[in-house]
Copies of this chain bind each other. A is one copy, B any other.
Amino acid sequence: MMDEVKALLQYAFQTENPFTIAVSAPGSAGMETCFVNLVEPGDTVVVCRNGVFGDRMRENVERLGATAIMVDDDWGKAVDPEKVEAALKAHPEASILAFVHAETSTGVMSDAETLAALARQYDCLTIVDTVTSLVGVPLKVDEWQLDAVYSGSQKCLSCVPGLSPVTLSQKAIDKIQKRGSSVQSWFLDQSLVLGYWSGNGKRSYHHTAPVNSLYALHESLVMVHEEGLEKTWQRHRDMHELLKAGLNNLGIEFLVDESVRLPQLNAVAIPDGVDDAAVRSQLLNEFNLEIGAGLGALAGKAWRIGLMGHAAKRENVSLCLGALEDVLR
């Protein structure tokens, strides 16, 4: 079953990386797995911040005794490659570029392919947050040459929360193997975890894995494979278009420019004069429908409407539009 999970994750990530596993903890631990294994004290990491999760990356870097060079873009904007290039140029000591592919806090997609190409140009590896992007929008780990990529089980995979798919390129593995210091976390030290996930016969004990959740992940991945990634991506786009048309009719505006909008996470401006919390509770209590509040800089200003994985269906779009029309009337 674990070998199948690995092969199916390779398909989902579009990679042949042999190191493709599920970390036994949520996406935040997947993020920490990438940083704690690839970053050493004293290293310099260029971190792109255009929402909550870029700032969490900074926390990870600083707690490791490394230096984070921040590249800031406004919440609701994509990471600007020109700013990233300027930072890479100004910091030749940087060894890693870290960015979020799909910002869950704002609904913005950044151009992972372009950012990764820049990183290579300046001899940096990439750490890429794909928590919300995996399976929802095209993500091509090998074609784009991403190095350390983590995701979460509970977004577009529609699995239970608590697992974090992670894949590491050969260059990432090489960097880990050349470390001068030991990985600060025993639990997340991937050189130890690999003995458990390697398919070469014997699996060495590292920790007790959340096996029930792994079975759930297996089933989620089988369903993605059955539908096919291209069709899954298209379904997310189609449902987004349907939602967009309906929201336009209701006079609700998107916060994010169409060119960088995530179909699976629709961040919209709360209409003037509307009570944010009251509407969300009414949707939940009367329609059994939960939409996300704004996070951080967008708290009180935005709603985030998810259309992820299993939830990206016609009936959910209809329910959401009907309920919003009813509640806002």
Contacts and interface: CB of A to CB of B under 8 A. Distances in A.
Interface of A: 24-29, 31-32, 36, 56, 59-60, 62-64, 152, 154, 160-162, 182-187, 205-213, 216, 295
A307 to B, nearest CB: 18
A253 to B, nearest CB: 25
A152 B208 contact: yes
B63 A210 contact: no
Q: Tell me which of A184, A187, A213 has the highest count of chain B C-beta atoms within 10 A of its own C-beta.
A: A187
A63 B184 contact: yes
Copy tally for this chain in the complex stands at: 2
B28 A25 contact: no
Contacts of A210: 26, 160-162, 210, 213
A32 B208 contact: no
Given A24-B25, A32-B186, A161-B211, 17 more contacts: A24-B29, A25-B25, A26-B208, A26-B209, A27-B208, A28-B186, A29-B187, A32-B185, A32-B187, A62-B182, A63-B186, A154-B208, A160-B210, A161-B208, A161-B209, A162-B210, A184-B185
